[in-house]
C-alpha cells in the first residue's frame, strides 16, 4: 500500500485516478480547492478509511507524509483557465514549487500533468516530445501554456539540482464521465448541446483538428508512467492518435445522440491551435502503453453520463 497525494483529485481526470488507485489498495489523499472540481465526482469514495478529502489550494504550502504525488491541480478548460489568468499561472508555478518541495522533503515520486498545449500551435505534426513548440507568450492562452511550460522547467530543475524523482506526462485532449456540465471544452459542449437539441457551436470553420482519448486509457498510462521500473522521467505524450476535424466531431456527436441539433459557426478564439495529434511511439516503447477504447464506445459512455446529469439538474 502506498500513500498517494492527488492534487486536483475532485476534477474530471483526478476523480478517475482517485477511484482506480483506491481500488488498487492504496491510501489516497485527494486535495482540491473545488474551483472546477466537485464533491459529486468523489462522493462515493468518501467514508472509505483509505480515502481522505482535503480542501486546500496548492498556491499555499501543504504538508503531509506521502510516497507519490500526482499533481493535477489546474483548471484545464480555456474559459475556466482564462477566467482568472493570474491565478492559473500561480497554480502552475507556485503550486508546482510547493508540490516539488513536498516531494523533496518526503522523497516522494512526483508526476506532473503537463499538456499538449506546451506545443502551442504546432508546426511539427504529429507532435513528438523533442519538438519545443510554437507558443505565444503574451496571448490569452499563455497563462496556461506558459504556466505549464514553466512547471516542466521546475520539474527538470528539481530533478537535476535536488535529485527529486520526477515524471512529466503531456496529456492530449481527454474526455469521459465526470467532466463538468459547464466545462466549456468541446466534448462537453457538443454533447450537452446535442442532448438538448440546441445549436452545436463550432468555433471557426471546424477544420481545426484534435485527437480524443478516453479517460480510462489515460489513467492507465499515468499509473504506468509513475511506476515504471526504468525510472523513465519523460516528458512523454499520452493521448489517442486518432485525429479528426472539429466539424467531423460535431457530426459524430449528432449521430450518436440522435439529435435534431443544427451546426452553427462562431468566431474562433485567439491562438486556437489548428492541428493536434500525439506521436505516442515513446509511450509505446517505454511504457508498453497505447489507448484501447474506441471513440464511439467512449463517447456513448460519456453521453450516458451527461444524459443522467442533465436529468438530475432538471
The site for ligand UDP (CB under 6 A) is made up of: 77-78, 173, 185-186, 189, 201-203, 208, 210, 246, 269, 272
Q: Residues 10, 14, 16, CA angle at the centre, nearest 5°?
A: 105
Dihedral sign for Cα atoms in the order 179, 183, 189, 192: positive
Which residue's beta carbon is nearest to the bound ligand UDP?
185
Selection from ligand NAD, ligand UDP, none that 120 binds (CB < 5 to 8 A by kind) is none
Neighbours of 30 (CB within 10 A): 29
Selection from ligand UDP, ligand NAD, none that 35 binds (CB < 5 to 8 A by kind) is ligand NAD
Alpha-carbon distance 298 to 206, whole Å? 22
Instruction: Confirm whether 158 is a catalytic residue.
Output: no
Phi, psi (deg, nearest 5) at residue 70: -105, 115
Q: How do 68-71 and 109-115 pair as beta strands?
A: parallel
Tell me which residue of 111, 115, 213 sits closest to 159, measured CA to CA.
111
CB closer to ligand UDP, 54 vs 263: 263
Query: Among 8-16, 61-69, 198-206, 279-287, which window interacts with ligand NAD (CB under 6 A)?
Result: 8-16
* 111 lines the binding site for ligand NAD (CB under 6 A): no
* 173 lines the binding site for ligand NAD (CB under 6 A): yes
Selection from ligand UDP, ligand NAD, none that 146 binds (CB < 5 to 8 A by kind) is none
Q: How far is the CB of 141 from ligand NAD (least distance, A)?
A: 12
* 147 lines the binding site for ligand NAD (CB under 6 A): no
Question: Could you tell me if 14 and 32 are in contact, meaning their C-beta atoms sit under 8 angstroms apart?
Answer: yes
Phi, psi (deg, nearest 5) at residue 298: -65, -40
By the criterion CB under 6 A, which residues form the site for ligand NAD?
7-8, 10-14, 32-37, 57-59, 72-76, 91, 95, 113, 115, 171, 173-174
Amino acid at each position: 500500500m502506498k500513500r498517494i497525494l492527488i492534487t486536483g483529485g475532485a476534477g474530471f481526470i483526478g476523480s478517475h485516478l482517485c477511484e482506480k488507485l483506491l481500488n488498487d489498495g492504496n491510501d489516497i489523499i485527494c486535495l482540491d480547492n473545488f474551483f472546477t472540481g466537485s464533491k459529486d465526482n468523489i462522493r462515493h469514495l468518501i467514508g472509505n478509511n483509505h480515502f481522505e478529502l482535503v480542501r486546500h489550494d496548492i498556491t499555499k504550502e501543504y504538508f503531509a507524509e506521502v510516497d507519490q504525488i500526482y499533481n493535477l491541480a489546474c483548471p484545464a478548460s480555456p474559459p475556466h483557465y482564462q477566467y482568472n489568468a493570474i491565478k492559473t499561472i500561480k497554480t502552475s508555478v507556485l503550486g508546482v514549487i510547493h508540490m516539488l518541495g513536498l516531494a523533496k522533503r518526503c522523497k516522494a515520486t512526483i508526476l506532473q500533468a503537463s499538456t499538449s498545449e506546451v506545443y502551442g500551435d504546432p508546426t511539427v505534426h504529429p507532435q513528438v516530445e523533442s519538438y519545443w513548440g510554437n507558443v505565444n507568450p503574451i496571448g490569452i492562452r499563455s497563462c496556461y501554456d506558459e504556466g505549464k511550460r514553466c512547471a516542466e522547467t521546475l520539474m527538470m530543475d528539481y530533478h537535476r539540482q535536488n535529485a527529486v524523482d520526477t515524471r512529466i506526462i503531456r496529456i492530449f485532449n481527454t474526455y469521459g464521465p465526470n467532466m463538468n456540465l459547464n466545462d466549456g471544452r468541446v466534448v462537453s459542449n457538443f454533447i450537452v448541446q446535442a442532448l438538448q437539441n440546441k445549436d452545436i457551436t463550432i468555433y471557426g470553420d471546424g477544420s481545426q483538428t484534435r485527437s480524443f482519448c478516453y479517460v480510462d486509457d489515460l489513467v492507465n498510462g499515468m499509473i504506468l508512467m509513475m511506476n515504471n521500473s526504468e525510472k523513465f522521467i519523460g516528458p512523454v505524450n499520452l493521448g489517442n492518435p486518432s485525429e479528426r476535424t472539429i466539424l467531423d466531431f460535431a457530426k459524430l456527436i449528432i449521430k450518436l445522440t440522435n439529435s435534431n441539433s443544427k451546426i452553427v459557426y462562431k468566431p474562433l478564439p485567439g491562438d486556437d491551435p489548428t492541428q493536434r495529434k500525439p506521436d505516442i511511439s515513446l509511450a509505446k516503447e517505454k511504457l508498453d502503453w497505447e489507448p484501447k477504447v474506441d471513440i464511439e464506445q467512449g463517447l456513448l459512455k460519456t453521453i450516458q453520463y451527461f444524459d443522467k446529469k442533465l436529468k438530475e439538474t432538471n
